[in-house]
Chains A and B, each alone.
Chain A
């Protein structure tokens, strides 16, 4: 492949949306209310829409007979480059919201910067996606405040989710070799530049939600190099089931 770094860079972006979209899709029909059910499904739909644009572009760059579905569903576990945060399970609605919020704040800042890329296709995807993500961020921010500053029980559950998921935040700002190569070409976003801004935004909302900002300085990473938590394998067995069981068929 001529442009392996660009290909890997796109996968890194798209895999986040793929895996988070898949997680949210698990919840459809099981939400705490009809309205939240619709909203979570809607976010999942937006993410899969973005995923398709990215993978179609990646398939074009690969330049062989790979399709968007091959890229999405036929890689091995070590070949997915999403961050660990998005693969964390829907332990309860607090985890779903906190995971969403911690990702949305990042995703919004990321897409803001991606619009300045030298790659016109990525710019176009970013411009379309940021409108959707701005809604996702509003949804998860509003719910974080409701849950944090709601009842004693909701506060306790939400604080627990924040404490547990906090360890996955720093990885959002880790850059791989493909990232660095693409940053130097003016194509990729240098995520380290908005790290401070990210934590400022996150901390402000946590404070407003009357939640404590975790003090832990121990962080987990690995997803961007394909080393995942044990959760991902199970998610992939659902995601890949049909493509693996019935290879080379059209649906």
Chain B
């Protein structure tokens, strides 16, 4: 294909996206579009799968049967999200095994928030309320993203995420209205999860890469800083409702901006965790690699069995 032809295809492609048309797997797409989507979508799928671990940590210790069932269902939803996000990514010409390989070797990233430990039951509330809350803010705009399979997967993901967020808030509410010990547990969880949740919305706009291109492809609608402000403005009143204190002494309503001002985020901590040196990075990765390696004989058996069945059928047909 000549350069002029490619230019013309790219122009048509950009026009389609500008008209809000969806790009489907069989459509022509620029290589960069394909690669960027593989990176973002697989990262998203990995986050769902690694995200099962911190919450899975409390399944056997959930305080009541009702909470245990809800937590199991939530973690199962995350596995489901992972499954259809991996499937959606596969439409771009990469296999699930390749994506796992990238995760296990550290080539692909996942959301850094899951590199923090879940040390008390209240963390199940804080994760639902804050982490899923921040995730929804990141993800709702993706329901209208340009790549069809991703947009459709996200519609389903977002519905379930908002249910999870309410569930998390409800856990916090129960604790906040409980005994002093329970309330303290809730406050402690908020103290630990607040800043990492703000970091989830990504680096500040002045250092964030990819943003302009991602905006054009509708992979992003708002900048990281705008999303973060939206999250803070939405969450502060919820914390007030819970009677909990957000651990930021600089947090203050700004009348002229009609938004909250907030304190400095510790970006050194953010980059430390992103680069693999958070409290749980190694543990999370080991859990994923172990599951994969210990499961190899099971997957091999399933393949061998399917092969035997096929051969049997073929023999019968002859």
Contacts and interface: CB of A to CB of B under 8 A. Distances in A.
Interface of A: 22, 25-26, 28-38, 41-42, 44-45, 48-49, 51-52, 55, 68-69, 72-73, 92-93, 145-147, 149-151, 153-154, 157, 235, 238-239, 241-243, 246, 249-251
A151 B299 CA distance: 10
B266 interface: no
7 contacts: A29-B49, A30-B291, A38-B80, A146-B301, A243-B63, A251-B64, A251-B171
B179 A241 contact: no
A31 to B, nearest CB: 7
A25 B59 contact: yes
B68 A48 contact: yes
Return the 7 tightest CB-CB contacts between A and B, nearest first.
A32-B295, A150-B301, A154-B301, A242-B63, A29-B56, A32-B298, A29-B52
Nearest to A146: B305
B76 A154 contact: no
A41 B83 CA distance: 14
Contact of A48 (B72, B121, B296): B72
B53, B61, B179, B303 interface centre (most CB from chain A within 10 Å) = B61
Nearest to A154: B301
A45 B72 contact: yes
A52 B70 CA distance: 13
Contact of B79 (A22, A38, A147): A38
Nearest to A48: B69
A246 B63 contact: yes
Contacts of B62: 242
Contacts of B181: 246, 249
Interface string B223-254: 00000000000000000000000000000000
Nearest to B60: A238
Interface string B174-205: 11001101100000000000000000000000
B96 to A, nearest CB: 8
Contacts of A242: 61-63, 121
B75 A32 contact: no
B52, B175, B302 interface centre (most CB from chain A within 10 Å) = B302
A151 B304 contact: yes
Contact of A44 (B72, B86, B295): B72
A28, A42, A68 interface centre (most CB from chain B within 10 Å) = A28
B49 to A, nearest CB: 7
B65 interface: yes
A238 to B, nearest CB: 4
Contacts of A235: 60
B288 to A, nearest CB: 9
Interface in B117-158: 121
Interface of B: 49, 52-53, 56, 59-69, 72-73, 75-76, 79-80, 82-83, 86, 121, 171, 174-175, 178-179, 181-182, 287, 290-291, 294-306, 308
A162 to B, nearest CB: 15
Contacts of A241: 61
A51 B65 contact: yes
B75 A29 contact: yes
A35 B83 contact: yes
A51 B73 CA distance: 15
A41 B72 contact: yes
Contact of A52 (B56, B69, B83, B294): B69
A249 B296 CA distance: 43
A55 B64 CA distance: 12
A154 to B, nearest CB: 3
A246 B73 CA distance: 24
A154 B297 contact: yes
B52, B75, B290, B301 interface centre (most CB from chain A within 10 Å) = B301
Nearest to A92: B294
A177 to B, nearest CB: 28
B83 A34 contact: yes
Contacts of A93: 294-295, 298
B230 to A, nearest CB: 30
Contacts of B305: 145-147, 149-150
Contacts of A34: 49, 79, 82-83, 86
A52 B52 CA distance: 24
A52 B66 contact: yes
B60, B175, B294 interface centre (most CB from chain A within 10 Å) = B60
A36 B53 CA distance: 16
B75 A150 contact: no
A36 B301 CA distance: 13
A25 B291 contact: no
A73 B65 CA distance: 9
A26 B60 contact: yes
A74 B160 CA distance: 33
Given A32-B299, A251-B171, 10 more contacts: A29-B49, A29-B291, A34-B83, A42-B76, A45-B73, A45-B76, A48-B69, A55-B65, A69-B65, A151-B300
A57 B162 CA distance: 33
